[in-house]
């Protein structure tokens, strides 16, 4: 199998699986208990939190573990609006956010919030001036992702946070950094954001673990009420095995960061140039600013058919976000490109283990499909 859908999820790294196994079978204590097994679990939890904080470039007490990126996004949005409820009801976001941001916003719009959606240009970029122009005295939240999950484009989060500060509006700034974490360099403080979401399964940790960065001093309403874990903000017995796996995956990435970035970039560039050489009618919808994601199109060949035909040849790529389950991609559509291009768009996303040979196999398979099938 050739797996080139690493923006959807990643294979769990052996180091992460090993850490989870250790915690599940040996260091399995409940961190809230007072005997040695429990205190050892609490110590390990503290050490693992410190590792995740180091990978993010923030303080350990600013990291709250969640069950996934979707939970972090939903919580950040709702808690921010709760804080700003007397200041305004206007939200600024982009038309290309993940559904984990767009769907809670849609629900809030139905409850009377006004949402401004910034639209990207043809290449999937949003300009700082667009953010600046959208801010109002009653803007209470700006939520902008760091790296788009279908186009690989970088969004101007730092500039958005600066614009908020300059404008004097009361908005808090949230970024969904699920696709950017450890793939592009940033720290929450450097970006100037108040809240930042990440998810473990994009970096070789298992599904079911994520984290929300909450800037020190920001007092959020808890997501849940219960036993006081996670500083009382997100109680529930800590998923220590998943947390250990997340920390282990972070450690591997931190140890190899430059090498991993370079490897993914080299394979992606190789893929894009081989594709254009082999299939001159292929269009690069987005080469991706991030090292691991790009979007390409074979106009006239519907992406669902391409995904199926590639799957029959043992190659996994997506027609867009995995969460869309076959629905046309609103992200690709938001770029305003011609319909024939949009219908044939594929997202290809790499891991540090991806090889040029795998990229070549994808190009050959696309060539074969284009030769055997009549375009629309």
Q: Measured from the CB atom, is 139 or 149 closer to ligand PLP?
A: 149
Which residue lies nearer to ligand PLP by CB, 78 or 373? 78
Q: Which is nearer to ligand PLP, 98 or 215 (CB)?
A: 98
Separation CA 174–CA 72 (nearest Å)? 10
Structure tokens at 138: 């009653």
* Contact status: 145 vs ligand PLP (CB under 6 A): yes
Cβ neighbors of 81 (< 8 A, separation 6 or more) are 91, 108, 113, 140, 141
Verify binding: residue 294, ligand PLP, rule CB under 6 A: no
Of residues 183 and 263, the one with the C-beta less far from ligand PLP: 183
Listed residue (187, 177, 198, 166) closest to 65, CA to CA: 198
User: Which residue lies nearer to ligand PLP by CB, 70 or 130?
Assistant: 70
Q: How far apart are CA 76 and CA 81, in angstroms?
A: 9
Query: Which CB sits closer to ligand PLP, 120 or 210?
Result: 210
CB of 100 to ligand PLP, least distance (A): 4
**CA neighbours within 13 Å on the CB side: how many for 28?**
4
Residue identified by tokens 């949230």 is 174
Exactly one of 105, 173, 178, 250 binds ligand PLP (CB under 6 A); that residue is 178
Report yes or no: 212 and 195 within 8 Å, Cβ to Cβ: yes
Q: Which of residues 104-143 bind ligand PLP (CB under 6 A)?
A: none
Residue from 98, 174, 263, 268 in contact with ligand PLP (CB under 6 A): 98
Residue 289 as a binder of ligand PLP (CB under 6 A): the answer is no
Residues 303-322 within binding reach of ligand PLP (CB under 6 A):
322
Structure tokens belonging to residue 273: 């140039």
Query: Residue holding tokens 């970006």?
Result: 191
In whole angstroms, how close is the CB of 77 to ligand PLP at the nearest point? 12
- Decide if residue 295 touches ligand PLP (CB under 6 A): no
Distances (CA, A) of 289 to 161, 179, 186, 239: 20, 12, 14, 34
Rounded to whole angstroms, the Cα distance separating 126 from 104 reads 22
DSSP 191: H
Q: What one-character DSSP code corresponds to residue 62?
A: G
Question: At its nearest, how many Å lie between ligand PLP and the CB of residue 345?
Answer: 16
Residue (48 or 97) nearer to ligand PLP, CB:
97
Stretch that binds ligand PLP, among 68-76, 135-143, 165-173, 309-317 (CB under 6 A): 68-76
Angle between helices 99-110 and 69-83 (to 10 degrees): 40
Query: Residue from 16, 20, 52, 68 that binds ligand PLP (CB under 6 A)?
Result: 68
Stretch that binds ligand PLP, among 34-42, 171-179, 297-305, 330-338 (CB under 6 A): 171-179
Check residue 346 for interaction with ligand PLP (CB under 6 A). Answer: no
C-alpha 290/C-alpha 116 separation (Å) is: 26
Q: Which stretch binds ligand PLP (CB under 6 A): 43-51, 65-73, 181-189, 300-308?
A: 65-73
Which residue in 29, 104, 192, 210 binds ligand PLP (CB under 6 A)? 210
Of 108-116, 172-180, 267-275, 302-310: span binding ligand PLP (CB under 6 A): 172-180
Q: State yes or no: is 169 an active-site residue.
A: no
Strand partners, 141: 91, 172
Cβ(13)–Cβ(249) under 8 Å?
Answer: yes
Do residues 77 and 99 lie in contact, with contact meaning Cβ atoms separated by under 8 Å? no
DSSP state of 154: B
Interaction between residue 179 and ligand PLP (CB under 6 A):
yes
Which residues are annotated as catalytic?
Answer: 323
Q: Which residues bind ligand PLP (CB under 6 A)?
A: 68-70, 73, 98, 100, 145, 149, 176, 178-179, 199, 201, 210, 322-323
């Amino acid at each position: 199998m050739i797996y080139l859908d690493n923006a959807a999820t990643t294979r769990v790294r052996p180091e992460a699986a090993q850490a989870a196994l250790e915690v599940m079978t040996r260091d399995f204590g409940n961190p809230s208990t007072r005997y040695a097994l429990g205190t050892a679990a609490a110590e390990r939890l503290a050490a693992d939190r410190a590792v995740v904080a180091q990978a993010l470039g923030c303080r350990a007490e600013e990291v709250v573990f969640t069950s996934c990126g979707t939970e972090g996004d939903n919580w950040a949005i709702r808690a921010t609006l709760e804080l700003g409820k007397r200041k305004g009801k206007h939200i600024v976001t982009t038309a290309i956010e993940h559904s984990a941001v767009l769907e809670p916003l849609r629900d809030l719009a139905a409850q009377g919030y006004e949402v401004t959606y910034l639209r990207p240009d043809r290449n999937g970029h949003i300009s700082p001036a667009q953010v600046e122009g959208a801010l109002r005295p009653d803007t209470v939240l700006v939520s902008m992702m760091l790296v788009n999950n279908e186009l690989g484009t970088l969004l101007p989060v730092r500039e958005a946070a600066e614009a908020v500060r300059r404008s004097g509006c009361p908005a808090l700034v949230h970024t969904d950094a699920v696709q950017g974490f450890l793939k592009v360099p940033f720290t929450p403080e450097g970006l100037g954001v108040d809240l930042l979401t990440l998810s473990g399964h994009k970096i070789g940790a298992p599904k079911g673990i994520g984290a929300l960065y909450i800037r020190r001093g920001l007092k959020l309403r808890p997501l849940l009420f219960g036993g006081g874990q996670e500083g009382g903000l997100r109680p529930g017995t800590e998923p220590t095995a998943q947390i250990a796996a997340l920390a282990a995956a972070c450690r591997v990435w931190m140890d190899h960061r430059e090498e991993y970035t370079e490897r993914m970039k080299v394979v992606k560039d190789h893929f894009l140039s081989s594709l254009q050489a082999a299939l001159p009618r292929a269009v690069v919808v987005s080469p991706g600013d991030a090292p691991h994601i790009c979007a390409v199109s074979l106009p006239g060949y519907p992406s669902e058919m391409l995904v199926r035909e590639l799957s029959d040849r043992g190659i996994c790529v997506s027609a867009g976000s995995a969460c869309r389950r076959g629905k046309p991609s609103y992200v690709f559509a938001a770029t305003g490109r011609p319909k024939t291009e949009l219908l044939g768009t594929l997202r290809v996303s790499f891991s540090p283990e991806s090889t040029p040979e795998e990229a070549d196999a994808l190009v050959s398979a696309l060539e074969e499909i284009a030769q055997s099938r009549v375009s629309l």
